[in-house]
């Protein structure tokens, strides 16, 4: 396949029309691709054109969704012309396995079948299938249409040339693909983020950095899966703990001296409690990175 053919707009199928799906659909539409979308939800299918227009506008692209066609089931899609599939359904391993088994039967031999999962290795999703050479992870980061990074994750069965072809497609769409050559849990981005967060929380607990009550920690880039709680959830957890700690350390209004004083320990206790609450909210996520 020539370089011009690799970069020419093609035909994609996105399975799932949720938040991640909308961003991925917009990425393809913005690159001039035709996009089929399969979603069981009628309300999701009906709302996709407007949702995609908003994502295209954020990209600075024309809000033309004429290349978008939606379906309720996989067999309805235009499989004869589809070049690449991106599965974005909920993080349910059995559901993903069922979809991959069905798509393997429907897709043309030259069609790459990928999963946006951030929780399950592609080797587990595609386990026991006959054409694992064309199957790989394609992990985007939220919001998928704006964050340049995308991870192309190979299993031991993935054809290297096919993974590189998918990477070139992503590059032609304005992404910065990274070839993940080993199918490890968490891939690259999530593992690095987890390591940085552990170090940051350790520094807070050691008194190297404080978080004042009522302030908001800087939000982290979010991945698509359950390994990344929303910034809102993190802020609520931290803010609530800080407020409780600050209230507990505040002197009584009926002070015998009629004055109030601040103890340096109060700020450190607040920071430590905040860090502990934040770490607890991410405990399940971190266990993926240290296992």
Catalytic residue numbers, as ranges = 151
Question: Residue 237: which of 223, 212, 216 has the closest Cα?
Answer: 216
Beta bridge partners of 140: 150
* Token pair listed for 139: 């992990």
With beta carbons less than 8 A apart as the criterion, state whether 116 and 94 touch: no
SS3 139: strand
Residue 270 CA to residue 263 CA, distance in Å, equals 11
Give residue for tokens 């309805």. 76
Beta bridge partners of 18: none
SS3 205: helix
Residue 109 CA to residue 132 CA, distance in Å, equals 11
With beta carbons less than 8 A apart as the criterion, state whether 141 and 223 touch: yes
Sequence-distant (6+) residues with CB within 8 A of 133 are: 157, 158, 159, 162
How does DSSP assign 148-200, residue by residue? -EEEEE--TTS-HHHHHHHHHHHHHTT-EEEEE-S--TTTTHHHHHHHHHHHH
Residue 123 CA to residue 250 CA, distance in Å, equals 54
Length of the chain: 291
């Amino acid at each position: 396949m020539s370089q011009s053919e690799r970069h020419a707009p093609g035909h994609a199928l996105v399975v799932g029309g949720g938040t991640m799906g909308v961003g991925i659909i917009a990425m393809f539409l913005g690159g001039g691709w035709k996009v089929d979308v399969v979603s069981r939800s009628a309300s999701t299918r009906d709302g996709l054109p407007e949702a995609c227009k908003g994502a295209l506008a954020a990209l600075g692209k024309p809000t033309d969704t004429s290349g978008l066609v939606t379906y309720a089931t996989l067999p309805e899609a235009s499989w004869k012309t589809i070049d690449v599939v991106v599965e974005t359904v909920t993080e349910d391993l059995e559901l993903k396995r069922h979809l991959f088994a069905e798509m393997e039967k429907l897709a043309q031999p030259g069609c790459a079948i990928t999963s946006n999962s951030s929780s399950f290795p592609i080797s587990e999703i595609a386990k026991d299938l006959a054409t694992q050479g064309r199957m790989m992870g394609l992990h985007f980061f939220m919001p998928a249409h704006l964050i340049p990074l995308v991870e192309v994750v190979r299993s031991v069965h993935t054809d290297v040339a096919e993974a590189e072809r998918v990477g070139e497609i992503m590059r032609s769409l304005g992404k910065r693909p990274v070839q993940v050559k080993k199918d490890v849990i968490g891939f690259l981005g999530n593992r690095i983020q987890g390591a940085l967060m552990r170090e940051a929380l350790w520094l807070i607990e050691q008194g190297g950095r404080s978080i004042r009550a009522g302030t908001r920690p800087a939000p982290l880039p979010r991945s698509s899966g359950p390994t990344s709680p929303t910034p809102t959830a993190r802020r609520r957890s931290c803010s609530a703990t800080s407020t409780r700690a600050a209230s507990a350390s505040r002197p009584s209004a009926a002070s015998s001296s009629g004055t109030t004083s601040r103890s340096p320990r109060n700020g450190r206790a607040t920071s430590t409690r905040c860090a502990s609450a934040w770490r607890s909210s991410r405990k399940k996520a971190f266990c993926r990175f240290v296992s």
